[in-house]
Amino acid sequence: MIQPFFLKKYVYIFLLMLVGSRDTRSSGKTVTDGHICGGSIITESWVLSAAHCFPNPSDVGSYIIYTGRYQLNGNNLHESWHRVRQVVIPSGYNEPHTGKDLALVQLSSSVTWSDHVRPVCLPTWSTLFPSGLLCYVTGWGNIREDVPLSGVGTLQEVQVPIISQTSCQNMYRMNPAEQVVILSDMICAGYQEGGKDSCQGDSGGPLVCQMINGTWVQAGVVSFGLGCAHRNQPGVYARLTSYSSFISSTIPEIRLYGRADHNWCGRAAIWISFLSTLLILLEK
In the annotation, is 223 catalytic?
no
Whether residues 232 and 91 fall in one domain: no
Whether residues 221 and 255 fall in one domain: no
Number of domains in the chain: 2
Are β-strands 186-189 and 235-239 bridged in parallel, bridged antiparallel, or unpaired? antiparallel
**Catalytic residue, candidates 26, 35, 101, 244:** 101
Answer yes or no: is 157 within a domain.
yes
Q: What is the pLDDT of residue 62?
A: 73
**Catalytic residue, candidates 203, 223, 273, 276:** 203
Q: How far is 66 from 186, CA to CA, in rounded Å?
A: 29
Whether residues 251 and 114 fall in one domain: yes
Whether residues 81 and 165 fall in one domain: no
Whether residues 16 and 114 fall in one domain: yes
Q: What is the pLDDT of residue 3?
A: 63
Domain with 30 in it: 10-119+244-282
Answer yes or no: is 1 within a domain.
no
Whether residues 15 and 107 fall in one domain: yes
Q: What is the pLDDT of residue 223?
A: 96
Q: What is the pLDDT of residue 27?
A: 42
Whether residues 212 and 138 fall in one domain: yes
In the annotation, is 101 catalytic?
yes
Strand order in the sheet with 103-107: 34-37, 276-282, 13-19, 63-67, 80-88, 103-107, 46-49, 40-41
Output the pTM of the full model: 0.86
- pLDDT average per 10 residues of sequence, the chain (284 residues): 53 46 37 68 92 88 75 79 92 97 95 85 95 92 88 88 97 90 97 94 91 91 94 97 97 83 45 40 36
Whether residues 229 and 265 fall in one domain: no
Are β-strands 276-282 and 13-19 bridged in parallel, bridged antiparallel, or unpaired? parallel
Q: What is the pLDDT of residue 221?
A: 95
In the annotation, is 52 catalytic?
yes
Whether residues 158 and 17 fall in one domain: no
Q: What is the CATH number of the domain that holds 20?
A: 2.40.10.10
Whether residues 225 and 253 fall in one domain: no
**Catalytic residue, candidates 26, 49, 52, 223:** 52
Whether residues 108 and 184 fall in one domain: no
